[in-house]
Amino acid sequence: MKSKITVDYTRSAHSLIVDGHYTWKDYRLNGLRFPSSSEMEGKVDVTVKLFHFDWYIKLEHVASEMDKAGYRPATLIELLTLGILFPNLQKKFSIAATGSFWDDDSGDRLFPFLSAKGSDRILYASCKSDINVDNRFMGIKK
């Protein structure tokens, strides 16, 4: 999938989560643990690409593969915007935004995911180091 979306970088993660109408939300996904790190301001049109790897890929290699294609890993704000605009996309496959992360007290690096279970839309944080081959990674054109 490759598409253009408009991201409003002035919006909080909380307001985007509310507008996303998720059935289940991970309480750890908030603006305190995942602060906005984007250099962009206001409403910006961005080109989104969902990367799919046909092999098990380590998290640290995702960014380098995106970089080779001219993309960077998406942030939480960008992922939440995608979830609002394309609410059924996460029912096809899980989507990760590895451009936002938080190191928890046990040293695990957590990053946000959109997923589904049945008809339920889920927003959660994951600390997987090896990613399932069915997952997609959201990238933003540089």
- Portion of the chain with pLDDT greater than 90, in percent: 61
Which DSSP symbol is given to 54? S
Q: What is the model's pTM?
A: 0.91
What is the per-residue pLDDT across 78-116, written as a single tens digit (0 to 9) for each? 999 999 999 999 999 999 999 988 888 888 888 899 999
What is the per-residue pLDDT across 79-89, written as a single tens digit (0 to 9) for each? 999 999 999 99
In 3D, which of 98, 91, 87, 103 has the Cα closest to residue 137? Answer: 98
**Range 10-23 average pLDDT:** 93
CATH number at residue 132: 3.10.100
Q: Name residue 6's beta-bridge partners.
A: 45
Q: Token pair for residue 15?
A: 């307001």
Number of domains composing the chain: 1
Residue 132: alpha-carbon gap to chain centroid = 15
pLDDT at 72 exceeding the cut of 80:
yes
pLDDT at 33 exceeding the cut of 70:
no
pLDDT at 130 exceeding the cut of 80:
no
Reported as type and span, the H/E element at residue 103 is strand 102-103
Sign for the pseudo-dihedral over CA of 25, 31, 34, 36 = positive
pLDDT at 6: 97
In 3D, which of 29, 77, 22, 51 has the Cα closest to residue 137? Answer: 51
pLDDT at 38: 61
The domain of 16 spans 2-141
User: Which of the four pLDDT bands, split at 50, 70 and 90, describes residue 60?
Assistant: confident
In 3D, which of 97, 40, 58, 51 has the Cα closest to residue 74? Answer: 97
2 or 49, higher pLDDT:
49
